[in-house]
Amino acid sequence: ASPMNFALILFVATVLTGAVWLADKLVFAQRRRAAADAALRRFDTNAMTLPAAGGAAAQREREAVEQKALSQPAWIEYSASFFPVLLVVFLLRSFVAEPFKIPSSSMRPTLEVGDYILVNKFAYGLRLPIIEKKFVPLADPQRGDVVVFRYPVNPSQDFIKRTIGVPGDVVEYRDKKLT
C-alpha cells in the first residue's frame, strides 16, 4: 500500500471510531442508562413482593442487573478503545513525525539500505493530511537536508534524498563531478 493509502486508511478508521465514540457519548450511553433505570425499577418492584432475603445478596444482584444493562456492546467498546489510539497516531504521523525506511543505496555511506529515519513533519511547515496542502509555511529546505518526497513519475513511491541546491543555485554535473 502506498503512503497515501495508509494515511487515508488511518484517517477513515479514526473518523469511523470517533463517530462511534461520539454517538455512544451522546445517544447510546443515555439509552443504556434509561434501560438500566427501567431494569432497576422492575428489580425493586419484584424485590418488594418477595419475602425479605439477605440484604447484601440482594444488593449484589441489583448491581449485577445495573451493570448488565449499562454494559457496552462489543462493537462500541472496541471502537471507543481504538479511537484515542488511532487519533494520537494520526495526529503524530500527520503533524509531528513519520518513519521511513531507506529503500536503496543512493544515500550511502550516511544512510544504509534498510535504515529507518524519522522525518520531522513540521520543519518546513504544516500540511493538511491526505491532500498534503501546506497551510502554515515555516521554512524551506537547506543544503545538506535529507528530504522525503513523492516521486513525480509515480506518486505512490517515496524518494529519500539530500538537498544539494536551493532556489538561485546553479547545479551542474560534469565529468562525474557535482558542483
Q: For the chain, how are helix, strand and coil distributed in percent, rounded to 5?
A: 50, 20, 30
Buried b (16+ CB within 10 A) or exposed e, 79-112: bbebbeebbeebeebbeeebeeebeeeebeeebe
DSSP string, 129-140: TTT--EEEE---
3-class DSSP state of 66 = helix
**Per the residue annotation, which of 25, 68, 134, 161 is the catalytic one?**
161
**Per the residue annotation, which of 106, 121, 133, 176 is the catalytic one?**
106
**Cα 23 to the center of its chain, rounded Å:** 19
Upstream peptide bond of 3 is cis (omega within 30 degrees of 0): no
106 catalytic residue (yes or no): yes
156 catalytic residue (yes or no): no
Say how far apart CA 170 and CA 164 lie, in whole Å. Answer: 10
Residues with catalytic function: 106, 161
